[in-house]
Amino acid sequence: MAEKQNLAGLRVLDITQYIAGPTLGRILTDLGADVVKLEMPPAGEFSRTGSYPPPVNGQAPNYIYYNRGKRSLCLDFKRPEGAAIVVQLARHFDVVIENYTPGVLSKYGLSYEAFKEVNPRIIMCSISGFGQNGPRAQYPGNDMTGQAFSGLLHLTGTDDGTPVYPGMYLADGGGGVNGAAAVLAALYYRDRTGVGQHIDVALYECVFHIHDVFLMQHLFTYGDYNPGPTGRHRPGATPCGLFKTRGGWIVLTVLNHYWKKFTRDIGKPELASDPRFNPYTARWDHRKELEPIIEQWLQTFPTRDDALKFLIDHHYLAAPVMDLRETVAMIKREGRGALQTVDVPGYGEIPLPKVPYLFSETKVEFKPVLSLLGQDNRPLLRQCLGYDDKKLDELEAAGILIEDRAIKKDEK
C-alpha cells in the first residue's frame, strides 16, 4: 500500500493570489510538499474576503478550494523589515512560487536574485499573464486575457462565429499544472547539478501549446488556413460532436473507418453511398444535414442511457454530457480517490478534489487542515529563524506580523 509521498520534505514558499499560482501550490501540497502560504496584512490573500463564489457561513470557498493543506504566514513584506524576513526565510526553502505582475515583488526586494544570493539552490517559479519579459510583460493578465491571446476563444463558439467562454479557468489551471511540471524538472536538474533557477510561465502560452488539429492545419499550410469556431461539432472524424437524445445530450464520435459500419448499425446503409456524406470531407461539409438524421435515430430510444448502451455495445466513442451534480456523484461512487475531505473551521467537512495521479509506491494526499490567517507565524519563525517570544511580540506590535483573532495566545 502506498504510504510515502513523492515530495515529502520539500519546502515551498507560496507567494500567490487567486487561482494560477495557488493551483501550483495546491498540486505540490497534494504530492507531499510542506507549502507555506505567505499572505499580506491586513486580511491575507484577497480571495479570503472575496465575493465570488459567495461566502458560505463566513468562509470563502475560493480560498479554501485552492489553499487547503497549506500553512499560513501573514507578514507585511511591503515594509523593509518584513521583506528582509522573507529573504532570510528563503534559506530554509527549496522553492518559491509567485504570480504577481512582473516587477511587483522585485519592488519590495523579493526578486529571484535576492533569494539566490542567500540560497543558490533556490528554485523560483513566476506565473504571469504574459511572461517576465516581452512587450506585454508589465500588463496585468488573468485567465480570460490568457485564453483570448492564445487563440482559443476564437475557436470556441457558435457556428455564426460568436465566441463562448469555456466553463472553467483553462489558462489559470494550465498555468498551475505547467508550473508544477516546470518545478519538478528544475528539482531534477538541481539534484544533478546543485544549481537552482528561475522559471518563467506565461498563461497565454500554457493554453497555446496544447492547441491541436486546428494549429497543425494552420502551420502546415504556411498560415493560409485560419480556422474559426465550429459550434457543437469538431472536424477530424464526422460525426463528432454533441447530439440530443430523449433524455439529454451526448457526445458521439464515429471514426472515419467506422462510417460504413455505423450506417448499417443505425439502419441507414444508404448513407454509405450518399455523395453528401462521402468521402469524409463531404461528410464534414454536410454535417448540418447529417445532424438531424442521427438525432432522429437517437429519438427512437426511450432514454439517453438506452441510446448510449447501444452505441457503447457497438464500440462507438460515446458518453453522456453530465452536469456537475452527476459528475461529483459518479466520482464519489467510483471511489478512485479523486476527492479528499477537509474539516473547514466554522463550516464542517467538505470533499475537495486533489491531483489525479495514482502511484504504485506513493500516495497523493494533502494535509486535511485549513490554516487561519497567520496561524503558523510563530512556529515558522521560531523554527526557521530562531526568533524568541520577545522578538515575535515586537513584530506583532509593529504590525509586521498579523494573525486571525480567533487564534488564542495560549496556543502559540
Catalytic residues: 172
Measured between alpha carbons, how far is 385 from 410 in angstroms, rounded to an integer? 21
Measured between alpha carbons, how far is 214 from 383 in angstroms, rounded to an integer? 53
Amino acid at 221: T
Measured between alpha carbons, how far is 181 from 277 in angstroms, rounded to an integer? 43
Cβ atoms of 37 and 72 within 8 Å: the answer is yes
Query: Three-state DSSP class for 263?
Result: helix
DSSP state, residue 190: H
In DSSP terms, 240 is beta-bridged to: 253
Cβ atoms of 304 and 248 within 8 Å: the answer is yes
360 to each of 1, 31, 45, 383, how far by Cα in Å?
8, 14, 36, 34
| Cell numbers placing 240 | 463528432
With cell 528539482, the residue in question is 187
Which residues are CB-neighbours of 171 under 8 A, at least 6 positions away?
A: 20, 142, 143, 144, 145, 146, 147, 150, 203, 204, 206, 207
